[in-house]
Every structure is written in C-alpha cells, then in structure tokens.
Amino acid sequence: MQKKIKSLVDIKLTTNQLILLVCSYIAFILNIPFLIKATQAITRLDQFNVLFLLSVPLFLLSLSVLIQCFFAFRKITKPTLIILVLLSSVVFYASLNYGIIFDYGMIESITDNSATEVLSYMSYSTLIFLLVFGIIPSIFIFNVKLSYSTFSGELFARLKLLLGSFSVLLFIALVFYSNYASVGRNNGDLIGYLTPYALLDSSAKYLQRNVLYPPPHFELIDTKPKMSNDEERVTVLVLGQTARAQNFSLNGYEKQTNLYTKNWNVISFTNMTSCGTSKAVSIPCIFSNLDRQNFNKRVANAKQNVLDIIQLAGVNVLWIANDNTSCKGVCKRIKRHKITQSDYPKLCQENRCYDEAIIKQLDQKLANITHSNTLIILHIAGSRGPDYFTKYPSGHRYFIPDCQRSDIQNCTSEELVNAYDNSIAYTDFVLAQIIERLEKLSINSRIETALLYTSDHGESLGEKGIYLHGIPYVFAPKEQLHIPLIVKIFGNNTNTKCVKEAENLPVSHDNVFDLLLGLTGVRSTTYNADKDILSQCRFSDNFQ
C-alpha cells in the first residue's frame, strides 16, 4: 500500500505530458456543460454528422493545448496549470449547477458583489465539489516531478506539440467549417460555456474597459432643473431584487403571493421588462437617461442620473438600503443610509436584516420631513438568491415545504419555488406597510404621495436547467427579463382610472427616468413625456 502511495507521489512527467494531461482533464471533464450544450445543439439539427459531433471534444482539447503551450515554461508551468484548474473548477460548478455563463456582464456582476453575497453561494456540497474537481487535481499537479532536457530539446518538443495541435485544429476546421459556423451562428451562447476561456476573455475585457482606460469627464445633462410647482409631495421608490413578474398573483399567478397589496387596489403593470439580467447593469440603467439599446455603464456613470437632477431641482433625496451590495454608483452624490444589525437587532441575524427593518427607517424619515418635496429610494433585499429562505422570517413561511439551503440545485423544484414565493409574499407584506404609511401621510397632511415598486431583474428557478440570473440579454429567458412594476398614488392630481387602463402597455426600465421626474414634479430639459407612462393621467402638469 505504501509503495502504491509513493508511486503516485513520485510521478515523473515531461512538461508536454503534463500539459496534455491537464488539458485533457479540462477539455473532457471540466467542460462537460459545454459539451452537453454543444451535443444538444448538434443533435437538434435535422441532419447531423456524427463525425462532426465527435470532433468537438478533440477540437476543444487541441485548442486548450495550443493555448497552454505559450504559458507553460519551466518554473511557471505548475503555477499556471494549477490556477487554470482552480478557475475551471469554479466555472464548472457554476455552469453545471446554475447554468451560469461567464460573459462580460457576469464578470461585472461578480466584481460588484459584496463578500456576504458571494458567501451566500457557499455550502458543504460546494466545498466538496471544489475539493474533488479543483483542489485535489491541483495537489497532484504540484507533486508531479517534471523532467527537463536541454533548452533546445525543450523548445523542439514544444514546437512539435504546437504543430500537432495546430494541425488537428486546421484539419477539423477545413473538414467541418460549415458545421461549426452554422451551429455557432444559431447558438451564440455556446461560447460562454467554454471553460475557463470565456471567463479569462471576459475578465481581460473588464480590466481593459474599467482599469486601463481613464474615467471619462463627468457630464452635466441639465444644469437648471426646477420643481414645477409648490405642491407638497412624497414619492417612494422601492427597488427590489430578482423579483420576476410571473410569480405575482397580481399578474395572474395561481399562488396568492400578493395577499396584502391586492387589498390596496394597486396597479400592476403586466408587461414590464428589465434593462439587464444583473444589478451591475440594471441599477445604473434604471436611473440613466440612456435606453437599454444604447446603455453603456462607463458613459452612464460619467453623467448626471435622474437622482442628481431631482436633487439639483431642490427635492430632498434619500437612499435607504437594506442590501449588502452597493447602489452601483447611482447614489454616491445623494444622502444615503444603510441598515445595519445594530439599528434593529430584533429584525436582523448573521449580519442580514429582514426588509421590515427598512420600514422602521422610513418611519423616522416620514416623521421628520424637512422639504416640501421628498423622494425616498428603498433598496430592499427582496428575493435575492440563492439563499431565498433567509429573506423572510419564519412567520411568513406561507408555502411549504420550502428550500432551506443555498445549494438550491439539491432542493426539489417544489421546495425551491416555495422558498422563492415566500420571499415575494414577504416583499408584498412590506409594500403594503409602506402604502399604509403613505395613505396616512396623504390624509393627515393633505399632500400627494406615491409608491413605485420595481425590481432590478428577474430570476430563473431551474427552467431549462438554468438558475439565478446573469444570462446575456440576447439569450436570457423571459424569467430573467419580465419583472414587476407596481404603482399606488394618493392625492387629487392623478386619474387612477387612466393609470389602470395603461397597466397592459409595454414598459421597461427605460421609462423609470421620466416617470420619476413626473412623480416628483421636476421640470427638466431631459424630460420626455412620451416615456412617462403617467403623464396623460395627471390633472395638472406644469412641465411645458
């Protein structure tokens, strides 16, 4: 037994042999999600070539070897291959269990996530998976003894490996070019599953765009906005997370997830879509005057957003967050408050607070209104996953059995959906509490109050093997794009019947910029009445 263990520890390989071994492991094991997706795409063809199907893993292996030949020399060979395997094991886990694609948007989202949010993805099964597929193979690579010949001998052997790999790639390309072109053209998301090269390519693009380039000059798009009249008003925008519209009973969902807000006769827009599939994109896009088609985060961050304009007009703007992630830069020039465990210890545990805590903070603000016109943004935890069960207290477990773990792929579909629906129902409870306070404020103070609720993006719950969010927009399923938009207004300036008649119109995050200007009564050169879905429903408007 000891001899066998010793023989495993004393394995000797040439650099080329180690490259071939590691690249085979990456191509045939850690690229299983890519190979499955490619197989599905090829076998869906009316007539497919079996030899073409068999060429895919060989093409992937040859490509991996060709790339690694340029990064594996002498002392850097092992560190390079170990980093490659560790990164690949993480990508393998995410792609296999959640269907995640590591495109530019996903890298942007990862870099914007807090440590708490990243840790929410960790579980015992995650650690075991990474141990088996990442750490143990890395230990093997570390312990391999590499044998070297002369420099010229090493160079000649490497050139032979390069030539061999290139020859295989060239042969496959010449024989099956039309097949690869056709499948690639019709399945553009496939490249996002290439492990770990999609991750490396997207990371390089992120560094290039966000680190190497200097930040653009900040642009003022309106220097003299002003309030259209002296009418007192309080507007509350509730910004949710990962809430998808199809799980709202207000929109026809069979489970009663909106028991509280339905009693308030809120207006739910049934055809609302998000600007992106991650908050790193969606949140800056929501508050920017750039529409989705032209949105660029660098450009958006380098100009005034709607909050800047509203504040410049004299409105008191406050951002209250019950969220461990940032506001993605949109609130950096306004006053903000972050809910902490020390604020409301009874509503918090393990450095997380239930969204009821944000109502307590809202109460303090409403009791101390300092301006005639106030805008409050409440950034709630909402339904952010994968640990949906941590977003609602035990007293709000309406749907059981519910998934009580973060490795959601190990829960049944029923348990997962129940946990997610509980988070939606709890958000509904919180919204109803806010609406109640706005009604009371409107009656007692005779001011116009309004609630606007939407989400940053939707969420996949295992449909077609996809979980969570972040799929590139062009390939994203409707579950990640179709989001809620709920409106409730108190006062005499809005025709509620008119708003109700508009609830089935197609709207998106592109409308929020102008909708907020309209609700707060701010006159701005950036205002577009056509995008303000409530502009035709106001009895008096002084925007002209």
Preceding omega of 216 cis (within 30 degrees of 0):
no
Residues in CB range of 15: below 8 A, 6 or more apart: 72, 73, 74, 77, 146, 148, 154, 157, 158
SS3 250: helix
For residues 327 and 95, give the distance between their C-alpha atoms in angstroms, rounded to a whole number: 27
Return the amino acid letter for 439. Answer: E
pLDDT at residue number 3? 52
Preceding omega of 386 cis (within 30 degrees of 0):
yes
pLDDT at residue number 9? 56
Task: With 0.75 as the threshold, say if the pTM is over it.
Answer: yes
Contact 489/449 with Cβ under 8 angstroms?
yes
Task: Please report where in the chains the tokens 């000649």 appear, as a residue.
Answer: 156
Measuring CA to CA, which residue among 535, 540, 448 is closest to residue 489?
448
pLDDT at residue number 544? 42
Which token pair is 24? 């085979």
Tens digits of pLDDT across the chain (544 residues): 555 545 555 788 988 899 999 999 999 999 999 999 999 988 888 777 899 999 999 999 999 999 888 887 778 889 999 999 999 999 999 888 888 888 777 777 777 666 566 666 678 888 999 999 999 999 999 999 988 777 787 788 889 999 999 999 999 989 988 788 778 877 777 888 888 988 888 888 888 777 777 778 899 999 999 998 778 899 999 999 999 999 999 999 999 999 999 999 999 999 999 999 999 899 999 999 999 999 988 899 999 999 999 999 999 999 999 976 679 899 999 999 999 888 888 898 877 899 999 999 999 999 999 999 999 999 999 999 899 999 999 999 999 999 999 888 889 999 999 999 999 999 999 999 999 999 999 998 889 999 999 999 999 999 988 899 988 898 899 999 999 999 999 988 888 889 999 999 999 999 999 999 999 999 999 999 999 999 999 876 554 4
Rg for the chain (alpha carbons), in Å?
27
- CB-count burial class (<10 Å; 0-12, 13-18, 19+) for 444: exposed
pLDDT at residue number 300? 92
For residues 303 and 523, give the distance between their C-alpha atoms in angstroms, rounded to a whole number: 18
Sorted by where each begins, the domain ranges of the chain are: 2-212, 232-537
Q: How far is CA 287 from CA 33, 298, 420, in A?
A: 36, 14, 27
Angle, CA of 494, 508 and 429, to the nearest 5°: 65
SS3 100: coil
CB atoms within 10 A of CB 331: 22
- E strand or H helix that includes residue 414: helix 413-445
Which token pair is 186? 């019709």
Contact 392/422 with Cβ under 8 angstroms?
yes
SS3 472: coil
CATH superfamily, domain at 232-537:
Alkaline Phosphatase, subunit A (3.40.720.10)
Task: Please report where in the chains the tokens 């990243």 appear, as a residue.
Answer: 118
pLDDT at residue number 538? 85
pLDDT at residue number 118? 64
Mode of pairing for the β-strands spanning 485-490 and 267-268: antiparallel
